[in-house]
Structures are given as C-alpha cells and as structure tokens.
Amino acid sequence: MANVLSKGTLFPAELTKEMFNMVKGKSSLAAMSEQEPIPFNGKTVFTFNFDKEIDIVAENGKKSNGGVTIQPKNIVPIKVEYGTRISDEFVYGSEEVQLDYLKAFSDGFARKVARGIDLMAMHGVNPRTMQAAAVIGDNCFRKAVTQTVDRTESANEDVESAVAFVQDNEEDVTGIAMAPAFRSALAKETRKDGTPLFPELGWGAAPGVINGLPVSVNSTVSAKAGEEQKDMAILGNFRDYFRWGYAKEIPIQVIEYGNPDNDETAGDLKGSNQVYLRGEAYIGWGILKPEAFARIKEAEAV
C-alpha cells in the first residue's frame, strides 16, 4: 500500500489550491486584495509615484524632468504552523481513510491560516499568543497606518471621516473590513423619518457590499492587541496597495514518535496510540502605501 502521507511530503497540489481558496473566502484582507505567489526568499514590490503633473511643451520649447519617486517594499514570507494529535488508525488506514484525514486537516488549517493572516497583518501579533511578534515589526495596519478616527455616536459619520483621510491623499477606497460591533452600529443608523439608513444590515446580516463598497465583517478586525484601543474598521485601497501571497510548497509531517507538541500531560505518541499531524505554510504580505488606508478605533476611555 502506498503511504499517502509520510514525513516530509507535501499537500497534493489540488488540496493546496482548495485550501487557499477557503483562506481567500474567510480572511477579510485576502478577500479584498490581490494575491500572488511569494518565493521562499521573498520578493520586492516597487511603487512608482509621479511627482509632478504633465507639462505643456510649446513649439521648439524645452522639456523638463517631472520626476518619479520609487519606493521598494520587501515582502518576506513568515513560516506558520499548526499541529494536532490524531489516532494512529490514520497510519494503518486505507488511502481513502488517509485522504479523508488530510481533507479534514486542510479545512481546519485553512480556517486558522485565514484568521492568522488577518491577525498578523492587521495587528502585528502571533495569532496563538496575541503578543506582538518581532518578526512582523511595523508591517501591520495597526502600526503602519497612522490615519485614525476615534468612534463617535455616528458610525456612518466615522466612515465618512475615514474616507476623507484616504481621498485627501488622492486615493480610492476599494473596501472596508469591519468588526461585528461596528456592523451593528451601522445597522442602528436611521434617517430623519426613523427608517434604517442601511436596511441590508438588519438582523445581523453581513452583505458583501454596502453603498457600492465591498465590505467584510470579521471579528479579527477588533481583536485585542495590547492595551491600545481596538480597531473597529479598516478601510482604504486594498486592491492596489495591499499584497499578500504564500509559497506554494506546504509541507505536511506525520510524526509517529516522541512528544512533538511538548505536551507533558499528553505523553509519548506511541504510548498513546497517536500520531502527530503538522502543517506549515509560508505567508508574506505588504502594505505598499499606508496613507491609502485609515483606521476607525473604539472611543478612547475617559
């Protein structure tokens, strides 16, 4: 019998594609931005800013230099992993049984990776500990995006204020990621006659578009990171200025011996009739132009 999964093998290509399709559907940042493959050693993305306007040249007139500012942004993939203990019937099962385990694991891994992309890129934290990750540094919205709006009594006006920040920099707003609490605040907004300003948000609905703007509602937006105010929404030009990707090689290990998760209470794998399934992914992202975004924060405590 062929061993479908052995130490050092990879997810089959079709499962890798399926897994990251699920990631794109469940990560707010991934859903609103461009995804591209990231090599293991990273890649550099260049943004070009034309410094001046076009110039009229009279007949026989001299041409002048308009100038271009080039800003490189390095996107370096970060390794993330997730592992779990399962019954050793996986090892002795048929190929079909093994594939069922793999599909179940890839589905769960995709959900965790999706949430992890948001937590890392939004808040700069290690998703498991929710503590600041040195390897991320300032490559996150919480630190890179300094244009902020403190929540007021009107969530709608807060959005307008944040949009103004972005548009003042001559950028488009292509999407907004918002916390469930902010969605609820928008749902309560009414017109002068008392009718809902956003009736599509009634009863907890989370439409993909509001007022023609792509929207993603996700608890990752307001995840608590340190003692700072929670973010309630992040909006801006995700289409052009947020890039993310993953290295296509995703190793999967089946570990049959020892204590790979350092869980002293669980004991040795062999002694517990278990094996350890571990998946790893290499994910990179970059905020190419921080001034193309704005954050709406919870009201500051008085």
Pick the residue with more confidence: 87 or 29? 29
pLDDT tens sequence across 185-198: 999 999 989 898 88
What is the arithmetic mean of pLDDT over 202-222? Answer: 90
What is the arithmetic mean of pLDDT over 20-29? Answer: 79
Residue 246: the pLDDT is 83
Of the candidate ranges 20-29, 133-142, 200-209, the one whose mean pLDDT is the lowest: 20-29
pLDDT tens sequence across 239-280: 999 999 887 667 777 888 888 888 777 778 888 888 888 888
Residues contacting 282, CB < 8 A, separation 6+: 38, 40, 77, 78, 79, 80, 246, 247, 249, 250
Apex 242 CA angle, 140 and 74, nearest 5:
70
Residue 2: the pLDDT is 39
Whether the Cβ atoms of residue 81 and residue 278 lie closer than 8 Å to each other:
yes
pLDDT tens sequence across 106-155: 888 888 999 999 999 999 999 999 999 999 999 999 999 999 999 999 99
The residue extents of the domains of the chain are 9-43+72-288
Rounded to two decimals, the pTM is 0.83
Residue 42: the pLDDT is 65
What is the arithmetic mean of pLDDT over 40-59? Answer: 67
Question: What stretch of H or E contains 213?
Answer: strand 213-217
Mean pLDDT of the chain: 84
To the nearest whole percent, how much of the chain has pLDDT over 70? 84
Whether the Cβ atoms of residue 176 and residue 235 lie closer than 8 Å to each other:
yes
Q: What are phi and psi of 131, to 5 degrees?
A: -105, 150
Which of 187, 174, 299, 152 minimizes the C-alpha distance to 234?
174
pLDDT higher than threshold 60 for residue 7: no
The residue whose two tokens read 């707003």 is: 173
Which of 99, 121, 119 minimizes the C-alpha distance to 111?
119
Whether the Cβ atoms of residue 172 and residue 237 lie closer than 8 Å to each other:
yes
Residue 215: the pLDDT is 95
- Amino acid found at 76: V
> What CATH architecture applies to the domain 9-43+72-288?
Alpha-Beta Complex (3.90)
Confidence of residue 14 (pLDDT cuts 50, 70, 90): low
